[in-house]
Amino acid sequence: MILDAALQKNIISKQLYEVLMVQEPTIPTLYLLPRVHKNASVPPALNRQIITSAMTSGLEFISRRSPIVCTGGCVATSQPLATQIGIDILKKGGNAADAAVAVGAALNVTEPASTGLGGDCFCLFYKADSKKIYALNGSGRCSRALNLELLKQQGFDEVNPLPSTHAHNVTVPGAAAAWVDTVSLFGSKKVSLEEILQPAIGLAESGFPVSEVSAYLWSTAAQKLRSPGNKFGADLLISGQPPQHGQLFRNPSLANTFKALSKHGKKGFYEGRIAEAIVQVVQSNGGLLDLTDLSSHMTEEVEPINTLYKGVKVWEIPPNSQGITALMALNMLENYSIREWGHNSSDYVHTVTEILKRSIADCQWYCADRAVVPVPTEELLSKAYSTKQVKQINMERASQSNNHGNPFETGSDTVYFTVVDVHGNACSFINSNYNDFGTGLVPEGCGFPLQNRGYGFSLSSAHPNSLAPGKRPFHTIIPAMATNAETEDLLCSFGVMGGFMQPQGHVQVLLNMVEFEMNPQQALDVPRFYVEYIKKDQKWHLYLEDGFPENIAEDLKTRGHLVHWPITGHDRKLFGRGQIITKGDWWRSSSDISKVWWAGSDPRGDGCALGYCSVKDCY
């Protein structure tokens, strides 16, 4: 009877109906999702069970995880070894900033394809005693010797862009400086930088077993490490091959790099042996980065940007980061009664997708280095502009336009992790090489690859994000936080890594909590969707993760979306890997949120969330 009603209301497909007729007695009762159809005449508990089964039937990455709940500190990362290291630093007296840097270093060891000292990072830090959020821009700049005219002479322009692995794409690695500055500005002062980096040094020296998703990412990009002129790429291979799942891998060169950083601070990276090795491998492969570019690098303290969404203040890093994309989308979404559509329904996916198209188009035009070109941040985030943008959305038909709006008329791979401590401080942190292993170029004796973040520049002189000497490129990586708009209390620290999926992931997991009352683990578990503009055919493509019913995919096709469904297996990396820590169960009640942390870790990755209890707070 219940399943018949679900089928009639298009809650489940005919195929799934037949499966559930057999499985109904074993449908889990603990893993409950909010109702998909608010007015469905299906008892809420069974409705949730049915939708859960619809979303999880046959999924390779299905997570039957409970959210972590604890009262002391909490860490959520994409690698269990890194999560444990973060917990250890917290228990040693470090705070959220200290633990975040320890996690970042551990991830450099365990997931080198995605992150490391050869890349950039951004940090949001919530200081509990002042209820203020601070932000660090740890992205590096283009070589001062590189410009569009020189590239044109070498045969590269907007029509014939640089290959993604070209050494010209190596911008100054900003992560090392940002790690040191995060500890210096926000750390507890109870643990030294040497103590913070020591666990990662131990992992690199003694070796660690490679986890499954990391092994996959390693294998898909290993060819970069074997490229001509990359003499030391073999340092990240075993006998010329990427390590397999469960195989032990050691990286003594990276351990020595960490030791230099812990002993000498930023000078240990941006001057001396390591800096010389970076310059040597870049210049020997045709790049222009030099010692002055490295020694002059500085992390920038910036004011985070925010918008208000239905009582929740959402915080992002300002441009040159794409965080503004998520905020513009939320401004537009505030004009709708989203909950009435139902989670991942056709109306929901269609409207959110159409809104994301507009915010992405705006961001990809206006987002650039604010120190070099003006970025109309305030205008793009105005509620009046969002209302104007919403008026262009057709609820029955998909748009193929990729034109940016005019706000003045109104007046790929990464790791994300988050840490909170017993004092209520929180750190939302993201670190990236851009594509897997970046350029793949490994400096001699350093143990890490160099990013290809310069690939994010436009080679059009008319574009605000055009390549220029000493300029920061457009950045995909974005950490996020949310606070109570009235009290400024922290609600959650969260992020979803994965190139241009990141702002889309931020919007989806936040709506999962705010609109559909999901806990952090559920918000990460449910299927996601991704929209991308393909220049080759000048059309928007919509990708639906396995777990969406066939009828939803078909309905979206009738509205004009170019739907790719289902996206399965390791191809799910398209939808990113997220981590969330929330303060209490704020998404569903007004119960005491001052003592309990809730956390979730994305089932699409290898990681986990862990926490511990401060016993005195449990009674």
Catalytic residues: 414
At position 618, the amino acid (one-letter code) is C
Separation between Cα atoms, residue 405 and residue 480, nearest integer Å: 25
Longest dimension (CA), the chain: 73
Instruction: Give the side-chain half-sphere CA count within 13 A for 473.
Output: 28
Residue 359 Cα distances to 288, 475, 618, angstroms: 34, 15, 44
**Nearest C-alpha neighbor of 185 from the set 263, 100, 279, 244:** 100
β-pair type (562-567, 413-420): unpaired
The three-point CA angle 90-95-96 to 5° equals 95
| CA-closest candidate to residue 407, choices 430, 385, 435 | 385
Token digits of residue 393: 């959305």
* Secondary structure letter of residue 574 according to DSSP: G
- What does the DSSP assignment read for 171-206? PPP-HHHHHHHHHHHHS-SSS-HHHHHHHHHHHHHH
Buried b (16+ CB within 10 A) or exposed e, 146-173: bbbeebeeeebeeeeebebbbbbbbbbb
